Amino acid sequence: MKYNISDTAQNAKASEVREILKLTQTPEVISFAGGLPAPDLFPVEDIKNVTAKVLEEDALVALQYTTTEGNDDLRRAIIDQRLKPFNMEASLENIMITSGSQQGLELTSKMFINKGDTVIVENPTYLTAISPFKSYGVNLATVNTDDDGIIIEDLIETIESNKNVKFIYLIPDFQNPTGRCMSVERRKQVVEIAEKYNIPIVEDSPYGELVLEGEKLPTIKSFDKNGYVIYLGSFSKVFCPGFRIGWIVADSALVEKYVILKQGVDLQTSTIDQMIVARYMQEYNLDNHIEKIKDLYRNRRRCMLDAMEKYFPENIKYTKPRGGLFIWVMLPETEDSKEILQRAIEEKVAFVPGQPFHAHGEVRNAFRLNYSNMPEDRIEEGIKRLGVILKEIL
């Protein structure tokens, strides 16, 4: 049959880049493309242990339906261990469990966007945030960023020159794709701007705890006294992504609405997965686990930066992130990173071209490298190969 699908479905195209990268999912390719955490660090023995206990002591609850807002023990553990230590105040009515923080982006779109409304995003921004926003018919307004994050003057101008700005989407820590952090000063300023213009901020923080060098900066949420910041957290980068568990922290009235919207979307997040993660947080020390991840990533990042220094031609700029998973490479303006990717794949090395991280696709001369998922010898070898290609081309 010929399907008469919605405008949203018609506009939802398979990512060209994803199709290219499918070709790279073989062991012989050195891939800096994904955003996968290092599986070698998954706390497998501890997870086996708590999973067995959950099924031994509480199977009939773990396998049954549960509430939409999520498991109470898990929500309490998040409040005590992942919010309070970072000066974010929350009680149970301020937090809802999501099926990964991607669902937080989807539900936030459903919560705020009428067709034609504006959402402000950083330029560049997380590419898979763009698709849920677009699926609600949004007008995406981009604001440029520099080494201190979103540029405040441009943000204000963008707010003032657009109607119905529904929220400002920010990744302040080790931003995807640039790896940059927003300065503390600007974090305070965006909260003031949110209050002044009555526009909420969506603070997406999947990497915020992966500080590899220097101090962790205060979250935007920690400066929010009046409910202007919606905070999205995730276990995917600090524990394991396979469970698909994230959370939303917001004003209680808003969380009530989120719960109603989530009911229609998937009723609830996996009961057993929530109980396994809650039990892990009760019985083990997630902080210690995160320290191990940081030790490994610190070495891999060092290794990648050293290799880039050694093998990349001199006229290439790149960020030197203090944490997170990504390095952002900027080429001379005439270059197209998609073409370079084609060459790279021939040499069995892969990355993500920069274009899809720009909501309007206008920047072609940049690409993203991931260092979390490859061992050091492969990082060195992959960067060496990339260096040869870049020297050839430039």
C-beta closer to a second copy: residue 162 or 183 = 162
Minimal distance in Å, beta carbon 353 to a second copy?
18
| CB contact set of 186 (below 8 Å; sequence gap of 6+) | 148, 149, 150, 152
Q: Which is nearer to a second copy, 114 or 342 (by Cβ)?
A: 114
Contact 274, 71 (CB under 8 A): yes
* Nearest CA among 220, 229, 158, 227 for reference residue 188: 220
Cα 116 off chain centre by = 25
| 243 neighbors 273 (Cβ within 8 angstroms) | yes
Min separation Cβ 257 and a second copy, Å: 5
User: Containing H/E element for 230?
Assistant: strand 229-234
**Which is nearer to a second copy, 261 or 394 (by Cβ)?**
261
Output 84 or 225, the one with its CB closest to a second copy: 225
Give me the DSSP letters along 237-304. TTS-GGG--EEEE--HHHHHHHHHHHHHHHSSS-HHHHHHHHHHHHHS-HHHHHHHHHHHHHHHHHHH
Q: Which is nearer to a second copy, 239 or 367 (CB)?
A: 239
| CB nearer a second copy, residue 41 or residue 345 | 41
CB of 273 vs a second copy, minimal distance in Å? 5
DSSP code of residue 323: B
User: Would you give the DSSP letter of residue 369?
Assistant: E
**What is the separation of C-alpha 107 from the centre of its chain, rounded to a whole number of angstroms?**
16
Tell me the CA end-to-end span of the chain in Å, nearest whole number: 50
The smaller minimum CB distance to a second copy, of residues 42 and 86, is found at 42
Shortest Cβ 245–a second copy spacing (Å): 9
Q: How far is the CB of 40 from a second copy (least distance, A)?
A: 8
Closest distance of CB 262 from a second copy, Å: 10
CB 108, min distance to a second copy, A: 10
What angle is formed at CA 216 by the lines to CA 95 and CA 248, rounded to 5 degrees? Answer: 15
CA distance to 3, 189, 191, 223, 254, per residue, from 196 (Å): 46, 10, 9, 15, 19
